[in-house]
C-alpha cells in the first residue's frame, strides 16, 4: 500500500510539473487563483541575443493634452532611422513596467483583472545601435530578445496586404495577445476584454509618438497566417495590430 501511495505521489508531482511548464510557456501564472489578489502575469520567453534598452523617460516636453490634440494617423515616413532611445520609449509606453502603490508592479496599459495577455514584438529595419531583425520585448527587464536576424520590413509589408508605409517605416511594433491568460480567469468573456487591452496600448503608442515628434498608424488589415510565420509566433499567440513608426514624411 505504501508503494502504491509513493507511485501516485510521483505521478502527481510529474503532472503538476508538466502543467507549470505549459503555463509558463504561455506566460500564465498557474498559482494566480490560489494566491489571490492581483498579480502581473508572465511573458513569453525568447531564446536569443538580449539587448538592454535605455531607461524610459518619465516626463516629456509635450503635455498629454497637446499629444491628444495633435494625434493623427501617419502613413508616410521620412528615410531616417529611429534611435534606440526612441524605440525604448515607444515600447515602454505600450506595455512597460510602471508602479501602482497598491498592487506593486503593473504595466503601462490597463488590463481586465490585471491578466495582461498582451505581447509586443519589434520588426526593426533602421534603428541606431540595433541590428535589423525581429525582437520580442520583455517588460520585466525592459529589453529586447532577438528572434531572428535580418530586415523583414518588406515581408511584413506583403503580409499587411502590400501597404506601403509598413515597408517604408524604419521599424514596426506588432501587438499580439495570448488569450489563455485572460480566458483562465474570465472564460469566453475574455474575448471581449482582450481588444480593450490592445486598444489602450495602441493609443499609448500613438500619444508617445506625438511626444517624440514621430508618427504611427494602426494597421489591422493583414494576412494572419503570413504574419504569424514571419514573426514565428508561439502557439496560442494571435496578432492584433501592426504599428509602423518613424518620422513623418511628406
CATH number of the domain to which 48 belongs: 3.40.109.10
Cell numbers at residue 174, please? 506588432
Predicted pLDDT of residue 106: 84
Number of domains in the chain: 1
pLDDT computed for residue 239 by the predictor: 96
Is 95 among the domain residues?
Answer: yes
pLDDT tens column, 104-114: 678 889 888 88
In a domain, 29, yes or no: no
Residue 130 forms part of a structural domain: yes
Give the Å distances, CA to CA, from 226 to 94, 124, 155, 197, 216: 24, 18, 9, 24, 22
Q: CA angle 28-235-165, nearest 5°?
A: 105
**Is the residue at 23 inside a domain?**
no
Domain membership flag for residue 24: no
Residue 234 lies in a domain: yes
> From CA 138, how far away is CA 158, in angstroms rounded?
27
- Residue span of the structural domain in which 50 resides: 37-246
Q: What is the pLDDT of residue 113?
A: 85
Phi–psi pair at 62, nearest 5 degrees = -100, 125
In a domain, residue 12? The reply is: no
Using CA atoms, how far apart are residues 240 and 13, in angstroms rounded to an integer? 37
Q: How many Cβ atoms from other residues are within 10 Å of residue 170's Cβ?
A: 26
| Residue ranges in the chain modelled with pLDDT below 50 | 16, 18-40
Q: What is the pLDDT of residue 138?
A: 95
Q: Interior CA angle at 245 toward 239 and 249, to 5°?
A: 140
3-state SS, one letter per residue, for the chain: CHHHHHHHHHHHHHHHHHHHHHHHHCCCCCCHHHHCCCCCCCCCCCCCCEEECCCCCCCCCCCHHHHHHHCCECCCECCCCECHHHHHHHHHHHHCEEEECCCEEEECCCCHHHCCCEEEEEEECCECCECCEEEEEECCCCEEEEEEECCCHHHHHHHCCCCHHHHHCCEEEEEEEECHHHHHHHHHHHHHHHHHHHHHHHHHHHHHHHHCCCEECCECCCCHHHHHHHHCCCCCEEEEEEEEEECECC
Does 25 map to a domain?
Answer: no
Q: What is the largest CA-CA distance in the chain?
A: 80
Per-residue model confidence as pLDDT tens digits over 145-171: 999 999 999 999 999 999 999 999 999
Indicate the pTM of the whole model. Answer: 0.81
Amino acid at each position: 500500500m505504501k508503494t502504491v501511495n509513493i507511485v501516485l505521489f510521483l505521478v502527481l508531482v510529474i503532472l503538476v510539473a508538466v502543467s507549470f511548464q505549459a503555463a509558463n510557456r504561455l506566460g500564465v501564472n498557474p498559482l494566480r487563483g490560489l494566491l489571490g489578489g492581483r498579480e502581473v502575469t508572465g511573458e513569453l520567453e525568447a531564446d536569443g541575443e538580449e539587448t538592454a534598452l535605455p531607461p524610459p523617460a518619465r516626463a516629456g516636453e509635450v503635455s498629454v493634452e497637446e499629444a491628444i490634440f495633435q494625434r493623427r494617423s501617419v502613413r508616410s515616413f521620412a528615410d531616417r532611422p529611429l534611435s534606440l532611445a526612441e524605440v525604448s520609449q515607444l515600447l515602454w509606453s505600450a506595455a512597460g513596467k510602471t508602479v501602482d502603490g497598491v498592487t506593486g508592479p503593473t504595466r503601462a496599459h490597463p488590463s481586465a483583472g490585471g491578466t495582461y495577455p498582451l505581447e509586443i514584438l519589434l520588426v526593426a529595419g533602421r534603428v541606431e545601435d540595433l541590428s535589423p531583425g525581429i525582437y520580442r520585448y520583455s517588460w520585466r527587464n525592459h529589453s529586447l530578445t532577438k528572434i531572428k536576424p535580418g530586415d523583414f520590413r518588406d515581408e511584413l509589408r506583403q503580409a499587411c496586404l502590400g501597404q506601403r508605409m509598413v515597408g517604408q517605416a524604419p521599424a514596426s511594433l506588432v501587438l499580439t495577445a495570448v488569450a489563455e491568460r485572460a480566458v483562465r480567469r474570465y472564460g469566453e468573456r475574455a474575448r471581449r476584454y482582450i481588444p480593450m487591452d490592445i486598444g489602450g496600448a495602441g493609443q499609448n503608442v500613438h500619444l508617445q509618438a506625438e511626444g517624440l515628434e514621430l508618427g504611427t498608424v494602426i494597421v489591422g488589415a493583414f494576412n494572419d497566417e503570413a504574419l504569424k510565420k514571419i514573426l514565428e509566433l508561439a502557439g496560442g499567440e494571435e496578432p492584433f495590430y501592426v504599428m509602423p513608426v518613424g518620422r513623418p514624411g511628406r
